[in-house]
Structure 1
Amino acid sequence: MRMKTITALLVAGAATAAVLTAAPAAQADAAAGQLLLGRDQSLTGTVWAHRNSIANLGSSEGDKASSAKNEDSVAWVLYDDKNYKDRRYCLTPGRYIRDLHGGSWNFGDKISSVYRLSTASCAGYPTF
């Protein structure tokens, strides 16, 4: 009976070690972050998540975003035209714009490309 208990404890310990070993990889994925674009204000309706730069958001998503949230550790630049051209605004980490139509930027339904910077700074770019 004692041997069965020891074996059960060893199996449970190995399972726990496997979970603990896998946790840092999952945390690394979560730390990569993302840019969220919402079709409607306050990220309601359809929400698109991006982890990489996109030169042309295309007709299914492009020119339809009304809200944006940076859940990444680096800044993102949102462009008015595809291929990172024309008017642009930078979104710092943690920044959430509930209504892109408002404010002095009037950027709702205009985002055609998004660029992920390698730093949290928006130096050189106008910010929301």
Structure 2
Amino acid sequence: MRTKIIRGLIAAVAAVAAAMATAPASQADTRAAGLLLGQHQNLGGSVWYFADNRADIGSAGDKASSAKNDDTVAWLLFDDKNFSDRRYCLAPRHYVKDLHYASWNFGDKISSVKRLTTSSCSGYPTF
């Protein structure tokens, strides 16, 4: 009986740790669908969360090496602030493990992000 309780507690702690690894601690349990940018490949290191448009995401974009669209609509990731210059579309539920991939060369270069109103990336280059 005691072993069952300990195993249950270990599983619960592991589940909480996994949830906190993908979102800031204050949002681990309340985070809505959105865009995640990871400091390193495979969402490693710091992870930044966005729920709406940001014309300037600050230093987070200059450090982002991976991206995951955890939303039901597409997101645009821009090279410059104010939604300008190069852009790529990340379709719903898609995950880019390495933004430094030579075809995109978008790692450490994201400056603004825009949440679209549709799930389609039609008309935009995609990852």
> Deviation at 1:62?
2.6
Q: CA deviation at 1:93?
A: 0.4
Work out the CA distance in 2 between the residues paired with 1:88 and 1:82: 11
Amino acid paired to 1:48: W
Q: Which residue of 2 aligns with 1:62?
A: 61
**Cα distance between partner residues in 1 of 2:50 and 2:102:** 24
TM-score w.r.t. the length of structure 2 is 0.74
User: Which residue does 1:113 correspond to in 2?
Assistant: 112
Question: C-alpha separation between the residues in 2 aligned to 1:63 and 1:77?
Answer: 16
What SS does structure 1 have at the residue aligned with 2:63? coil
Matches within 5 A, 1:3-82: 32-59=32-59, 61-82=60-81
TM normalised by structure 1 equals: 0.73
How far residue 40 of structure 1 moved from its aligned partner, in angstroms, is 0.5
Q: Which structure is larger by alpha-carbon Rg, 1 or 2?
A: 1
Structure 2 letter corresponding to 1:96: Y
Hey, what's the Cα distance between the residues in 2 that align with 1:106 and 1:97? 12
Shift of 1:103: 4.1
Residue in 2 that maps onto 1:99: 98
CA-atom RMSD in angstroms: 1.3
Task: Give the Cα separation in 2 of the matches to 1:62 and 1:37.
Answer: 8
Runs of 4+ in 1 over 3 A off after TM superposition: none
Q: Identity across aligned pairs (percent)?
A: 64
**For residue 66 of structure 1, what is the amino acid of its counterpart?**
S
Secondary structure class of the residue paired with 2:42: helix
Count of matched residue positions in the alignment of Structure 1 and Structure 2: 98
Please list every run of 5 or more consecutive structure 1 residues that lacks an aligned counterpart in the other structure: 1-28
Q: Deviations over 1:75-118 (max 9, x none)?
A: 00000000000000000001100000014011000000000000
